[in-house]
Chain A
Amino acid sequence: MKFSYNWLRELVDGLSAPAGELARRITLKTAECEGVEETGGDWIIEVDNKSLTHRPDLWGHYGMAREVAAIFGKKLVDPVKRRDIPGAPAIGVRIEDYSLCPRYSALALDHVTVRPSPGWMAERLKSVGLNAINNIVDVTNYVMAELAQPMHAFDAAKLQGGIVVRRAGSGEEIAALNGESYKLDASNLVIADGSGAVAIAGVIGGAGSSICESTTRIVLESANFNASSVRKTSSRLKLRTDASMRFEKAQDPMNTIRGLERALELLEQVCPGIRLAGGVADAYRPAPPPAPIALPVEWLSRKLGRAMGPSEVRAILESLEFQVTETGAGVFSVVAPSWRATKDVCTKDDLVEEIGRMVGYDSIVPAAPLAPVRAPHANPQREFQHRVREMAAAQGFTEVKNYSFVSEEMARAFSLDPSAHVEVANPIAADQNLLRRSLLPGIWKNIRDNARYFDSFRLFEIGRAIALEGETPHFAAAIFSKGDGAAGLYELKRLAECLLPGASARPAESSESYEHPHRVANIVHGETALGRLFEFHPRMVELGRAAVLDMDLALMEKMQRPRPRYEPLRRFPASAFDLSVVAPGRALIADVEAELSRHAGRDLLSIAFLGDFALEDGRRSLSFRLTAGAWDRTLTSEEVNAMRSSIIEGLRQSGFELRL
Chain B
Amino acid sequence: MDLDQTISELYSAFVSQLEQAWSLESVEAVRVEALGRKGKLSEISKDFGKLPGEERKKAGARLNQVKQDLQRRLESRKAELSSAALEARLESEWLDLTAPAPGPRPGSLHPVTQVQREIEELFISLGFTVLDGPEVETEFYNFDALNIPSDHPARDMQDTFWLKDGRLLRTHTSPVQVRGLERLGPPLRMIAPGRVFRNEEVDASHEHTFYQLEGMMVDRDVSVAHLIYFMKTLLSAVFRREVTVRLRPGYFPFVEPGFELDIQCLICAGKGCPVCKQTGWVELLPCGLVNPAVLRYSGVDPEQWNGFAFGLGLTRLAMMRYGVDDIRLFLSGDLRFLRQF
CA–CA, A425 and B113, complex, Å: 30
Which listed residue (B130, B161, B258, B334) contacts A424, Cβ 8 A? B161
Give the residues from 91 to 125 in chain A that come closer than 8 angstroms, CB to CB, to chain B. none
Does B53 have its Cβ within 8 Å of any Cβ on chain A?
A: no
Contacts of A401 in B (CB 8 A): 110, 112, 330-331, 333
For window 165-214 of B, CB contacts with A under 8 Å fall at 165, 167, 169, 184, 187, 189, 195, 197, 199, 202, 208-209
A567 within 8 A of B: no
- Cα-based distance from A617 to B293 in the complex (angstroms): 79
Given contacts A305-B223, A376-B189, 10 further A-B contacts (CB under 8 A): A27-B248, A29-B249, A32-B260, A304-B225, A305-B228, A364-B247, A369-B217, A396-B104, A399-B338, A424-B162
Chain A residues contacting B104 (CB-CB under 8 Å) are: 395-396, 458
Find out whether the CB atom of B105 lies under 8 angstroms from the CB atom of A396: yes
Please state if A248 and B153 are interface contacts (CB–CB under 8 Å).
yes
The verdict on A583 contacting chain B, using a C-beta distance below 8 Å, is no
Please indicate the chain A residues that have their CB under 8 angstroms from the CB of B124 in the complex. Answer: 376
Contact between A466 and B135 (Cβ–Cβ < 8 Å)? Answer: yes
- A365 contacts chain B at the CB level, 8 A cutoff: yes
Interface centre among A227, A306, A425 (most CB of B within 10 A): A425
**Interchain residue pairs with CB less than 8 A apart (7):** A228-B149, A302-B223, A349-B291, A366-B225, A366-B232, A375-B127, A449-B334
- Measured between C-beta atoms, what is the minimum distance from B148 to chain A in Å? 10
Instruction: Check if A382 sits within 8 Å of B130, measured CB to CB.
Output: yes
CA–CA, A445 and B124, complex, Å = 36
CB-based contact B292/A305 at 8 Å? no
The interface of chain A, by Cβ under 8 A from chain B, is: 27-32, 50-55, 227-228, 231-232, 248-249, 302-306, 347, 349-350, 352-353, 356-357, 361-362, 364-369, 371, 373-377, 379, 381-382, 386, 389-390, 392-404, 422-428, 435, 442, 445-446, 449-450, 453-454, 457-460, 463-464, 466, 470-471
A72 to B232, CA, bound (A): 29
For residue A28, which residues in chain B have a CB less than 8 angstroms away from its CB? 246, 248
| Given A376-B130, A404-B195, A422-B163: A31 and B187 interface contact (C-beta under 8 Å) | no
- Within 8 Å CB of A32, what residues of B? 248, 250, 260
Contact indicator A402/B226 (Cβ below 8 Å)? no
* Measured CA separation A278–B248 after assembly (Å): 48
Contacting A422 at CB < 8 Å: which of B108, B127, B165? B165
Restricting to B254-290, which residues have a CB under 8 Å from any CB of A? 256-260, 289
Contact of A349 (CB < 8 Å), options: B163, B202, B246, B257: B257
Q: Mark B288-314, 1 if CB is under 8 A from A, else 0.
A: 010110000000000000100000000
Other-chain contact of B247, A361, A386, A453, A457 (Cβ < 8 Å): A361
**Minimum Cβ distance to chain B for residue A140 (Å):** 22
Q: Are A404 and B256 in contact (CB under 8 A)?
A: no
Task: Report the nearest A residue to B223, measured CB to CB.
Answer: A305
Chain A residues near B225: list those with CB within 8 A. Answer: 304-306, 364-367
Question: Interface residues of B, CB < 8 Å — how many?
Answer: 80
In the assembly, what is the distance between CA of A50 and CA of B153, in Å? 9
Q: CB distance B107 to A426 under 8 Å?
A: no
Q: Which of A368, A458, A460, A466 contacts B229 (CB 8 A)?
A: A368
Complex Cα spacing A52 to B229, Å? 27
Q: A367-B229, A377-B184, A399-B110 are in contact. Are A350 and B249 (CB under 8 A)?
A: no
What's the minimum C-beta distance from A211 to chain B, rounded to whole angstroms? Answer: 29
Residues in B whose Cβ lies below 8 Å from that of A382: 130, 132
B305 to chain A, nearest CB (A): 11
Contact call A398/B339, Cβ cutoff below 8 A: yes
- Which of these, B219, B251, B333, contacts A446 with CB under 8 Å? B333
- B66 contacts the other chain (Cβ, under 8 Å)? no
A53-B129 contact in complex given A401-B112, A435-B136, C-beta closer than 8 Å: no
Instruction: Give the CA-CA distance A498 to B232 in the complex, in Å.
Output: 40
A373 to B187, CA, bound (A): 11
Q: Which residues of A contact B229 (CB under 8 A)?
A: 366-369
Q: Mark B306-341, 1 if CB is under 8 A from A, else 0.
A: 100000000000000000000000111111101100
**Separation in Å of the B230 CB from the closest CB of chain A?**
8
Q: Quick check: B333 and A425 within 8 Å, CB to CB? A: no
Establish whether residues B335 and A450, one from each chain, have CB atoms under 8 Å apart when the complex forms.
yes
> Are A232's CB and B109's CB within 8 A?
no
Shortest Cβ distance from residue A599 to the other chain B in the assembled complex, whole angstroms = 38
Q: Are B248 and A395 in contact (CB under 8 A)?
A: no
Chain B residue at smallest Cβ distance from A389: B109
Shortest Cβ distance from residue A325 to the other chain B in the assembled complex, whole angstroms: 23
